[in-house]
Amino acid sequence: MPLIFFLHFFSVYCKITSYLLFILSARICVVASVFMKQVVDLSSIIKKPLNALKHIFASGSNGKLRLQSFILIIFAILVAFYVFPPAWNRISDFINSKTGLSLSKMKETSFHVGLDLQGGTHLVYEADTSNISFKDQSSAVQGVRDVIERRVNALGVSEPLVQTNFSGDKWRVIVELAGVKNVSEAIKQIGETPILQFKEQSDIPNRTLTSEEQQQMDDFNKKAEANAKDIFSKLSAGEDYDELAFKYSEDPGSREAHGDLDWLPEGTLLPELESAAKTLKDGEVYNSVVKSSLGYHIIKKTGEREIEEEGEKIKQLRISHIFILTKSERDFLSMDDYMVYTELSGKDLENASVQFDPNTSAPEVALQFNSEGKKLFKEITERNVGKYVGIYLDGEPITIPRVNDVIYDGSARISGNYDLKEAKLLAQRLNAGALPVPIHLVSQQTIGASLGKISVEKSLWAGAIGLALVCLFMILYYRLAGLASVLSLLIYGILILAIFKFVPVTLSLAGIAGFILSIGMAVDANVLIFERLKEELAEGVDIEYAITESFKRAWPSIRDGNISTLITAAILFWFSTSVIKGFALTLSLGILVSMFSAMFISRIILRSLASFVKKNWWMGR
């Protein structure tokens, strides 16, 4: 896999450092566990290491410097484990096997890589916005982008990238599909103009059950019938009705009351239950299981009375039932299965926009229909007050609001528990059908996975050779100071890879080029510092003072050079295509981290190494 090559190359120093330090830690843990098993005095074991640490980090400049170095090493190790989780997982397995501990493992996640590394298809569509006003173009194109993203997701593409780009007076939609096999079918499906349709609720489903659904329903209902008959046989055998109701009834509202439904007026019970109850005396159980539209019932009449309310006599029944649920078609059909098409469509919708409720300030989506749409929408709302009207884009529901009142003026509001982001997205989707934007393919590029692998291998070899030559030059020319820059560069690599993984940044060949270039910028900052250091040492000052002054005097040059590069990268990112944006992004992140690395990490490492030498020759002088 290209990603593994990339990960192994840029994280090799993470693995080496992690393995060495934590194998040492594992050995210490093993020794400690042996002593624990032998019940050795813990104070005698802990006292010497504590005294040693106290001496190492003693107050004073050297002690403070050692503490900073120690914290830096620990921080670098932790970040290295985040970049390369297998290193920690293998070490934790080793420690667990030797000590009996249960150290947890880290989740292994990979870097995000671009099409040029993993293979795929890069499509560029141009949107025709000539019939749309300029102020509505952005919203309309964003709606198209959302529609295309939904279509791509329906294809089952892993992590697709769909984005818009405005250059000159042209709107473009860029689609990147990784690992798509049937490219022609994808292009055909993506390029279709969005279709907005309105549906209304019907009492008759628009489809029948499948054979599998019908079989499931029949099997469930047969089991329910057998269960009801079994309970009735237990009742006939003399078991207590109340106990059976509490134990077996599937009516949650009456089960706790042992099946009692309380007093109910005539005409409010299910017809099957009421007709059976009227044949019974108080305390009697009906002589068979009663079937209704909801399921099976074992009915017991517990009372009958007549009351007077507002001068009117009302008969009431009180029954108990043991209820066994059955399934019907509605248990297998969704609301969408009861929605039928209307004549209203996207061509009748003029616009959709986000507004705010004047009373609650909650975001809403306002709809405005044209003259024909006004008439059709009035008829639809008249038929469906209290029911639901669905709005569908490309055959998929985007919202199914409830009709509260008849709408006469062609202006409607869709309210609900929307936040501003959700309301804007809904308006975009509606406009995608109300303001159709035709798109046509202007560029297609397909990259095979094998080509991406070759590209990665070549770029990694080039990066490895360049990095090795830079490190060799720095150590030979600047000696111990050069070694400090190499160590700082390794920690810089760990940090920037962690950022790439955390954001996450999609790494393409251009992105890797930006990363490698930022390494050069990091080395350049160290060169400026070391040249200043040589100048200070030539004046005869001590090494500690020379290091402080070299960083202080080199900072303005490092700052100005990096800021000018960041400005250029920002321009590239803002005005260029996605490929160049990847280069600009990785370069910018690399420069920001390199400034931190050069001015903070390099200073700590250089001061730590300088504390062991007395001759200026080791500092490159």
Q: Confirm whether 174 is domain-assigned.
A: yes
Within 13 Å of residue 49, how many CA atoms lie on the same side as its CB?
7
Instruction: Identify whether 431 is part of a domain.
Output: no
Mean pLDDT of the chain: 81
Average pLDDT over residues 43-56: 52
Does residue 428 lie within any of the structural domains?
no
**C-alpha distances in angstroms, 519 versus 8, 396, 478, 569?**
17, 48, 18, 15
In single-letter form, the type of residue at position 491 comes to: I
Residue 546 has pLDDT above 90, yes or no: no
DSSP string, 217-279: HHHHHHHHHHHHHHHHHHHHTT--HHHHHHHH---TTTTTTTTEEEEEETTSS-HHHHHHHTT
3-state secondary structure of 345: strand
Tell me the CATH number at 602. 1.20.1640.10
Joined together, the tokens standing for residue 398 give 């985007």
Residue predicted with more confidence, 416 or 602: 602
Higher-scoring residue by pLDDT: 524, 432: 524
Q: Which domain holds residue 220?
A: 211-327
Is residue 616, in this structure, part of any structural domain at all?
yes
- Structural domain count, the chain: 5
Instruction: Look at 446 and 491; give whichever has higher pLDDT.
Output: 491
How confident is residue 48, by pLDDT bands cut at 50, 70 and 90?
low
pLDDT at residue number 564: 92
Tokens of 81: 């484990």
Single pTM value for the model: 0.54
Give the separation between CA 331 and CA 392, rounded to whole angstroms: 23
Q: Are 83 and 12 in contact (CB under 8 A)?
A: no
Q: Minimum mean pLDDT among 82-86, 215-219, 564-568: which range?
A: 82-86
Mean pLDDT across 256-285: 91
Q: In this model, does residue 37 exceed pLDDT 70?
A: no
CATH code of the domain covering residue 218? 3.10.50.40
For residue 440, pLDDT beyond 60: yes
pLDDT, tens only, 64-103: 777 788 888 888 888 888 888 888 888 888 888 888 788 8
**Parallel, antiparallel, or unpaired: how do β-strands 506-507 and 112-113 relate?**
parallel
The answer on pLDDT for 186 being more than 80 is no
Q: Give the CATH number, domain containing residue 124.
A: 3.30.70.3400
Q: Is residue 234 part of a domain?
A: yes
In a shared domain, residues 320 and 226: yes
How far apart are the C-alpha atoms of 246 and 161, rounded to whole Å?
56
Which of these ranges, 24-33, 454-463, 523-532, has the smallest mean pLDDT?
24-33
Q: How many CA atoms lie within 13 A of 425 on its CB side?
A: 11
The pLDDT of residue 9 is 39
Q: Is the domain of 396 the same as that of 526?
A: no
Structural domain includes residue 276: yes
The percent of residues in the chain predicted with pLDDT above 70, rounded, is: 85
Asked, for residue 115, whether it belongs to a domain, the answer is no
In a domain, 470, yes or no: yes
